[in-house]
Amino acid sequence: MRRLLVRGPSGMALRIDRRYHRRMRSDPPPLLPILRSRTQAGVLTVLLLNPDLELTQTELARRVDASLTSVVDEVRRLEQAGLLVTRVLGRARLVRAGSGPLVEALAEVMLRAFGPLQIICRGVRGGGR
């Protein structure tokens, strides 16, 4: 069995076998495989299709049915890309969609790929979320 040796910032080594490493990554969403993960697709769908919505990262993780760690990582990447905006309020980090032509174009893509599904789910839950 081949193992991957990973060194952390402190120089500590961690061996990961390939089976475990493959399971850690989620597959891209089948409706839009250009995205890196289902978590990224969920985060973008929730926030870009609801531009006035501002959620904590914990609330966002619940909505997209993903771990908080995964959502925090995706939010960081998407904020660095200028697609999301965050602000700190007390101990919580609030997240919302960014603005600009790139965000608007991506929102249109997300609507075409995931919009009907989100609308149906929202209706089933009673329209509140």
CATH number at residue 105: 1.10.10.10
20 found inside a domain: no
Span of 9-13, 63-67, 106-110 with lowest mean pLDDT: 9-13
Angle of the 57-64 helix axis to the 68-80 helix axis, nearest 10? 110
Give the confidence band of 20 by pLDDT, cuts at 50, 70, 90. very low
Instruction: Give me the amino acid identity at 113.
Output: A
How far is residue 10's CA from residue 32's CA, in Å, rounded to a whole number?
A: 37
CA dihedral 98, 100, 101, 107 (to 10 degrees): 20
How far is residue 91's CA from residue 66's CA, in Å, rounded to a whole number?
A: 21
21 found inside a domain: no
Q: Do the Cβ atoms of 35 and 29 come closer than 8 Å? A: yes
Mean pLDDT of 35-45: 91
55 φ/ψ angles, rounded to the nearest 5 degrees: -125, 155
37 found inside a domain: yes
72 found inside a domain: yes
pTM greater than 0.75 (yes/no): no
User: Domain range for residue 71?
Assistant: 27-124
Q: Do the Cβ atoms of 20 and 4 come closer than 8 Å? A: no
4 found inside a domain: no
83 found inside a domain: yes
Q: What is the count of structural domains for the chain?
A: 1
88 found inside a domain: yes
94 found inside a domain: yes
42 contact partners, CB below 8 Å, separation of at least 6:
63, 64, 65, 66
In this predicted structure, what is the pLDDT of residue 68? 96
What is the average pLDDT value for the chain, to the nearest integer? 80
Residue 46 pLDDT > 70: yes
